[in-house]
Structure 1
Amino acid sequence: MFRRSRPRTALVDPPAAPEGAATAGLVPELIADGWVLPRMFRVGGAPSWTLVGTVASPVATPVDGAGLVVGEGWSLDWWVGADDRWHVPAREASLRQQLLDRAPVVETLLRIPGGDAVHRAYGIRSPRDVGDEWVVAEVHNATAIPFAVALVIRPMVADGPGSVSEITVEPVDGASGRDQAQLVRVDGRPAVVLPRTAARYAAGNKNDGDVLDVVVSGRAGNEALSASCPDGLATLAMVFPLTHTSTLRALIPVGPVGDTLDYPSVVPDAETVASGWSVHRRGPRIDVPEKRILDGFESARAHLQLAHDGEVVRRDGHRARTMEPGATELVLGALDVLDMPLEVAGVVARWPDVLGTDPAPEVDAVLLTVISRHWLLHRVEEMLDWVLPEFAAAVERIDRADRRGRIATAASRRRVTDGLRAASKALAAAGQPEAATRVDVLAGRVGRDLPDPKPVTAADRLDVAAGLAAAGDPAGIATIREQLVAASTTGTWAGPGAAGGSVARLVGDDLAAQGALVLAIRNLLITEGPNGIAVVPHHPDDWYGGGIEVHDAPTSFGPLSFAIRWHGTRPAILWQLDARPGSGPVTLTAPGLDPTWRTTEPRGDALLAEVGPPAGVERVSMVVEHPDIAPEMRRPGSEPEAPTGPMPGGGGFS
């Protein structure tokens, strides 16, 4: 059927995160001693945070629900001294958090007398001697009166204790005017750069206790301090005055860093960075009459790029496994349908050299799923020829594993079956019908008598929703809506435990769920069969009368654009399919709107059958017909008026 591949070396994941002297068993003791702990210990539930960073960065940085920015075994917190009292975000009820422009820019707003103290965290690139990636943690005074802000180095991470033995402060270059920039080292490593000297300092450790009481009581001193603790609980607060409308920006270096570093000369603000993420939202555009779904799609397509470092993808943006069934195929699948083939190819290109001689069947299924989808959508023949031996070997290994009873669990069998089905589809499209049939028979054997899926995580549930949506099942969009409601205010979901230390830590922002969301929403709008494409396989009642647009969506038949416009009770469709050469007639249908309509024309427009108003809609307002509708399809009467504005750009319909 195929050529065999040569033996490979095993894929090696990064080392586990180091475990410090401060362990999870300390939490009850710290609570009893009055330490300020991360917000999750007050609100309860699974760990939750939002990742920030830059495109193709090997490290995405967690920001918790109170604006705590997490480093390696430590974090940077912020407390605000207002007119009435000191406000600690981790303990405050009057706290809101959101994304700026649906980008990985986390804004945390703390209500205080006179307005809001605003904390924003985001990734930038700015040159330094070693590396160029940073996370900015800025505090803005949006009130009408001054306040004090304490930036606090904490021996904590978002979900528990970390470990900090020593904190020191030293002057460095990079400040403007008379200000002297300051470098904060954590255990000797450059950790935070500040634009000026703090007005006051307070240090704490396990024996002396937390610094909160010292700061709140006004006992912080004006001399720069260091903090040390052999138990790994060193902490240091640096207090700055912040006048009305002013902003303080602290910078945290990410990735490799030299012995020292200065405050960067160029630090863009949060609004500029959020706006800049629009450049990275290239690819297909959609518009649907449901803001929550549209916002979720746009947010997910940006956040997904934090999973990709140019060579691998990881569901936690940092330390998760590089080949993880139930995650890797979701992230790469979403990048493929978002028309990012180079990013996917860069990951796939490494697989033949790192898979090892005997990967688990679930890992082989990831390979089959990703390569099949990638080739079907983008048809890079050279890539398929290159990985075909590994493709064949994966099928043979799965066959052998199934005969030996090594695919035991229902979840594993389902993933393997899905991978084989995808491989069969790709082989058929590549002109290998006999191989496709044999793989399909194997898929039937592995997937025989599978029980209904039992999703555990949001990624699992959204993956199930994608299948339901593709089948035109109303449960698909219902599940998507449920998961969007269950997401954090920044649109994130917790994931399963990731490798790290002796105990697996949960993923607070599961990028695999973002990938599953993109795939599920795509299937609400486009699904593909052997001979054609169905658009809007199910049309929700509450979308009745609302416009739908999809521009430049990759499909296995070529890029597709379409729009749905309503003319009273009749929907009209405009479409353009740039079919691949030699693909033959492609059938386009719209079963969610008019099950009887179909066409093989590559472009055009049509008025579909009347759709009765859903229950609860008593009257339908008649609207002007679109001027592009063919004359014979228009209702009798006067010529329709031209629209007041231009058609949205992108995708053609020319």
Structure 2
Amino acid sequence: MRQNRLDDTPVYETWMRVPGGDVIQRSAVVTDGNGRTLVWQFENASPDAVVVAVVGLTQGRVHAELSCTELDGVPWIRPCVDAGAVVAGPEIWSLVEADPTAASADGENEAAVLVPLPHRQTITVLASITGDLPARPTAPEDVAAGWKAITADAMTVDVPDVDLSAAWRRVLGDLVLAVGDDDPIAAGEAAWWLDLAGMHDEADRGREAVLAAADRDRLGSDAAVVALRALASKELRQGASSALSEVAGPLAKLARDRLDRQTVSLVARALDGSHPGAAADARALLDTLTLADRAMSSAVARGAERVLGHLFRDIDLVERIDMLPEVPTTWFGQPIDVRGMATGLGALSFSVRWHRERPAVLWQRDGGPDGAVLRCPGLDPNWSSSERSGEALLAAPAGSETMLVADVDEVPAAPPASEAQPEGVRLDPNDPPPSLS
């Protein structure tokens, strides 16, 4: 079995080997305002007909018909062509063996919908996650195109490690999914990274989810810390007002001993301009705290952190930015491009090009405070600049002296007269090498 994503989006394609070929399953989640639906598309890329069995496990009363399976009277699983058989109840495969042609069934908690799939044909099956099933299915390819449209204006990463570049594209979609998570920690941590990626509207959805959880008294101490960071991120990275000034005090009390100095420092900086008194109160807490920082805990946030760890280090979001704090030697001599990073210093884009063993960094910073410092310690720890845009030729990093890099700006010198070819003589690559005697 082989699995990949369509165009690095949260649309999955799984190839399952069958005699003579493959059955390809494509799966995606769609939201249409009335509910969330899991879409399965099955393509039979083999010369023989097969039967696809879609099994649902749940809690509730199941009534299955060939056209639709209901859960507690609400449509739950619906094939876009009538199924060949359905079963419902515990020990689902025993029920299939007992009656593989049943046209209806009733049971508890489990159901299986069996759909025949002729060779070279495609079928679609919908399953409700929440809310109503859509009137018509959306093809997974269209879902992937929609994801690409959502992330079209987000920060882009193009580095020599193609797996890392692809990982960032995948993480973007995962972060957007995470802001809709019922877990306020996952939603709030995703908002932090989506702000950095310039996807502020999606980040706001995560903040709304966190605040809604607070209104329902569903925030624990760790989630309260995440909420503080997510709200501070909006103030610092978007330059937009959040509910931070109103809820910082209650959230800090809720966080209790999970509150860390880095979070409080971010909150203080976010409140400096609009609420200096509240910022001073936040700083007064710093000496009372024992935790220095808080690590990301949700899987998707940790993934974003791993991907972006090579590319930047944002010091308190406002003091300075370290571009490329770590650069693997395998990247030496190859171009690096990062576009549209939304930081506490404004929108930042930067590139690296090489002149033999020396890297040149180009940058553009729009918005944010004047005089902010940019550094590039992974290539030249002694370089820094407070200019908003520019280009600088850095010192050769350790290990780059062995590179064989062509300098595109340098015109090759003419060969000595003794080595120049007489006019009209063509060099033949098949000629023997010159004698060394």
Normalising by the residue count of structure 1, what TM-score does the alignment of the two structures yield?
0.56
Change (3 A) 1:263 1:149: farther
Separation in 2 of the partners of 1:220 and 1:363?
Answer: 49
In the alignment, which of 108, 127, 139 is matched to residue 252 of structure 1?
A: 127
Aligned residue type for 1:251: L
Output the CA distance in 2 between the equivalents of 1:371 and 1:241.
Answer: 50
Query: Do residues 307 (structure 1) and 178 (structure 2) align?
Result: yes
Partner of 1:422, secondary structure, is helix
Q: Percent identity?
A: 23
| Pairing 1:461-476 to 2, within 5 Å after superposition | none
For 2:5 and 2:310, locate their aligned partners in 1 and report how far apart those are by CA, in whole Å: 25
For these two proteins, the number of residue pairs brought into alignment is 410
Q: 1:250 to 1:204 in 2, by over 3 A?
A: closer
Distance 1:203 1:371, change over 3 A: closer
Distance in 2 between residues matched to 1:191 and 1:543, nearest whole Å:
50
Q: Where does the alignment leave 5 or more consecutive residues of structure 2 unmatched?
A: 415-437
Q: Which of 171, 195, 199 matches 1:336? A: 195
Q: Which runs of 4+ in 1 moved over 6 A?
A: 356-359, 635-639
Matched, 1:183 2:89: no
Q: Deviations over 1:536-555 (max 9, x none)?
A: 11222222222211111111
How far the C-alpha of 1:358 sits from its partner, in A, is 12
Contact 1:193–1:250 (8 Å) recurs in 2 = yes
The question of 1:201 aligning with 2:107 is answered no
Q: CA 1:595/1:372 → structure 2, altered by over 3 Å: closer, same or farther?
A: same
Aligned residue number for residue 569 of structure 1: 357
Q: Which residue of 2 aligns with 1:559?
A: 347
Cα shift at 1:207: 7.9
Which structure 2 residues correspond to residues 432-451 of structure 1 after superposition, within 5 A?
432=276, 436=279, 439-447=282-290
- From the superposition, tell whether residues 393 and 122 of structure 1 become closer, same or farther in structure 2 (CA, over 3 Å): closer
What displacement does 1:600 show? Answer: 2.1
Report the equivalent of 1:131: 34
1:528/1:378 Cα in 2 relative to 1: closer, same or farther (>3 Å)? same
**2: distance between equivalents of 1:437 and 1:108?**
54
Q: Distance in 1 between matches of 2:61 and 2:215?
A: 39
Q: Which runs of 5+ in 1 are unaligned?
A: 1-94, 157-161, 171-181, 315-319, 461-511, 627-634, 640-654
State the match for 1:8 in structure 2.
none
Aligned Cα RMSD in Å? 3.5
Which residue matches 1:289? 160
Tell me if the contact between 1:330 and 1:516 (Cα under 8 Å) persists in the aligned partners. no
**TM-score calculated relative to the size of structure 2:** 0.81
3-state SS of paired residue (1:306): helix
Partner of 2:422: none
SS at match of 2:85: strand
| CA shift digits 1:52-77 (9 cap, x unpaired) | xxxxxxxxxxxxxxxxxxxxxxxxxx
1:190 and 1:375 map into 2 onto residues whose CA distance is 43
Match of 1:220 in 2: 100
Deviation at 1:531, TM superposition (A): 3.6
Higher strand share: 2
Inter-CA distance 240–263: structure 2 relative to 1 (3 Å threshold): farther
Tell me, in whole angstroms, the C-alpha distance in 2 between the residues paired with 1:273 and 1:348: 25
Q: Residue 278 of structure 1: CA displacement? A: 0.8
8 Å Cα contact 1:551/1:562 also seen in 2: yes
C-alpha distance in 1 between matches for 2:112 and 2:222: 47
Q: Paired residue for 1:279?
A: 149
Q: Given residue 38 of structure 2, which amino acid in structure 1 is its aligned partner?
A: V
**Equivalent residue in structure 1 for 2:119, among 233, 240, 243:** 243
Report how far residue 151 of structure 1 moved. 2.7
Aligned-pair CA distance for 1:420: 1.0
- Secondary structure of 1:596's counterpart equals strand
Equivalent residue letter for 1:197: D
Residue identity opposite 2:140 in structure 1: A
Q: How does 1:484-633 map to 2 (within 5 A)?
A: 512-529=298-315, 530-580=318-368, 583-613=369-399, 619-625=402-408
CA distance in 2, matches of 1:208, 1:447: 54
CA contact (8 A) 2:245 2:271 kept: no
Return the structure number with greater relative CO, CA threshold 8 A, min gap 6. 1
1:431 deviates by 8.0
Give the drift of 1:347: 5.0
Cα deviation for residue 183 of structure 1 reads 2.3
User: 2:270 is matched with which residue?
Assistant: 426
Deviations 1:610-631 (A, max 9, x none): 12436xxx942222336xxxxx
Q: Quick one: structure 1 residues 570 and 120, their matched pair in 2 at CA, closer, same or farther if it must change by over 3 Å? A: same
Tell me if 1:192 matches 2:77.
yes
Q: Which of 40, 43, 49 matches 1:147? A: 49
Equivalences for 1:85-124 in 2 at 5 Å?
95-124=1-30
Distance change (3 Å), C-alpha of 1:332 and 1:235: closer
Q: Measure the CA separation in 2 of the matches of 1:366 and 1:238.
A: 44
Could you give the per-residue CA deviations for residues 192-251 of structure 1, whole angstroms, max 9, x where no partner exists?
A: 2223333x426464489624535xxxx733xx522234xx3654442414122x101112
Counterpart contact for 1:164–1:235, Cα < 8 Å: no
Indicate if the aligned counterparts of 1:334 and 1:516 stay in contact, CA closer than 8 A.
Answer: no
After superposing the two structures, state which structure 1 stretch, 95-104 or 145-154, moved more.
Answer: 145-154
Whether the aligned pair in 2 keeps the contact of 1:563 and 1:573 (CA below 8 Å) is: yes
